[in-house]
């Protein structure tokens, strides 16, 4: 139940705030937004119930197929999150288009005969490539390509969408503004990522064991842990909020009043 209500809440908020208010009705009242959000929740619930009944009646997709789908979807948030942190001019439209394109390719492949591991709840093609990785490359390409296009032509999706996003005259990304984009650091991370894949073992070859785990799986998991630790340390010690000279963070009027009133004695209350 917690997963279902969280999904419905996210579904309604995204359609209401990121689509309806941003593109269709920028001046919509609170009452109108509340109505649209509730309607979006009902639509999302109807879609979920319909798919559930279809699965029960036809047996498609089965449990193995659902496991395959679960394995391939999380990677598609990576381009939006990572590029969003390091590319200050990236627009939401580009990230959304990349995610939709990548998911479409991945879901199409994972339920196709090209996925040789579907019956086992896995995702793998005959050549050894993961269907998720193929979709991820599509996601990344569309996000970067559309992001660059929107930076060159901000009004591609209309003047309102362009006004909602800060315009950048240049590709505002690079090691001078972001220490984590150091080529040596990125190269070391890519090298570690490369060795998490057992490319050095021929398909079907015998492999030693580390305890009850195959050596290639142990090495992959170990290097994945190393990658996670290095990434966490990099964000802790190298990350810093970049500010252009002379700029300052915007402060809401209500926040500014709260700061100005902080520590003052409320009216009508005598000090001890």
Cα 122 to chain centroid distance, Å, stands at 22
Is pLDDT larger for residue 5 or for residue 157?
A: 5
Q: Find residue 101's DSSP bridge partners.
A: none
Q: What angle do CA 98, 100, 105 make, to 5 degrees?
A: 95
Confidence of residue 272 (pLDDT cuts 50, 70, 90): very low
Residue 53: what pLDDT? 82
Residue 36: what pLDDT? 93
pLDDT digits (tens, 9 = 90+) for 110-124: 878 887 776 666 677
pLDDT digits (tens, 9 = 90+) for 2-52: 777 788 888 888 889 888 888 788 888 989 999 999 999 999 889 888 877
pLDDT digits (tens, 9 = 90+) for 177-215: 677 777 888 888 888 888 877 767 676 667 777 777 777
- In whole angstroms, what is the distance from residue 41 CA to residue 35 CA? 10
SS3 189: helix
Q: What angle do CA 160, 163, 165 make, to 5 degrees?
A: 115
Q: Count of H helices and E strands in the chain?
A: 10, 2
Confidence of residue 252 (pLDDT cuts 50, 70, 90): very low
At which residue do the structure tokens 């288009």 appear? 97
At which residue do the structure tokens 């998720």 appear? 132
Residue 144: what pLDDT? 92
Least confident interval from 65-74, 155-164, 245-254:
245-254
Give the number of other Cβ atoms within 10 Å of residue 72's Cβ: 24
Report how far apart the first and last C-alpha atoms of the chain are (Å, whole number): 51
Cα 108 to chain centroid distance, Å, stands at 19
- Beta carbons of 82 and 143 less than 8 angstroms apart: no
Residue 132 burial by Cβ neighbours in a 10 Å radius (0-12, 13-18, 19+): buried
Average pLDDT, the chain: 76
- Beta carbons of 122 and 71 less than 8 angstroms apart: yes
Is pLDDT larger for residue 90 or for residue 266?
A: 90
Token duo for residue 157: 């999706």
Residue 161: what pLDDT? 57
Q: Which residue from 76, 74, 71, 73 is spatially nearest to 120, judged by alpha carbons?
A: 71
What is the DSSP code string of 174-186?
STTT-GGG-HHHH
Confidence of residue 251 (pLDDT cuts 50, 70, 90): very low
Residue 32: what pLDDT? 92
- In whole angstroms, what is the distance from residue 72 CA to residue 3 CA? 18
- In whole angstroms, what is the distance from residue 18 CA to residue 164 CA? 11
Confidence of residue 98 (pLDDT cuts 50, 70, 90): very high
């Amino acid at each position: 139940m917690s997963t279902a209500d969280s999904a419905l809440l996210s579904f309604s908020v995204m359609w209401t705030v990121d689509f309806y208010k941003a593109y269709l009705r920028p001046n919509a009242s609170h009452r109108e937004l509340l109505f649209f959000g509730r309607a979006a929740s009902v639509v999302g619930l109807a879609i979920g119930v319909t798919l559930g009944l279809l699965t029960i009646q036809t047996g498609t997709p089965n449990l193995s197929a659902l496991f395959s789908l679960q394995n391939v979807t999380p990677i598609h948030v990576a381009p939006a999150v990572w590029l969003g942190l390091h590319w200050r001019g990236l627009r939401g439209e580009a990230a959304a288009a990349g995610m939709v394109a990548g998911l479409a390719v991945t879901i199409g492949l994972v339920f196709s005969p090209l996925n040789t591991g579907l019956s086992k709840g896995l995702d793998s093609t005959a050549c050894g490539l993961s269907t998720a990785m193929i979709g991820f490359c599509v996601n990344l390409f569309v996000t970067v390509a559309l992001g660059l296009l929107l930076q060159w032509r901000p009004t591609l999706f209309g003047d309102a969408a362009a006004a909602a996003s800060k315009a950048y005259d240049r590709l505002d990304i690079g090691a001078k503004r972001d220490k984590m984009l150091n080529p040596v650091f990125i190269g070391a991370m890519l090298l570690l990522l490369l060795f998490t894949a057992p490319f050095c073992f021929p398909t079907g070859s015998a492999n030693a064991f580390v305890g009850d785990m195959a050596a290639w799986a142990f090495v992959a998991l170990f290097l994945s842990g190393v990658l996670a630790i290095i990434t966490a340390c990099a964000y802790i010690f190298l990350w810093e909020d970049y500010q252009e000279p002379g700029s300052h963070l915007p402060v809401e009027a209500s926040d500014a009043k709260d700061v100005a009133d902080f520590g003052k004695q409320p009216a009508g209350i005598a000090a001890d």
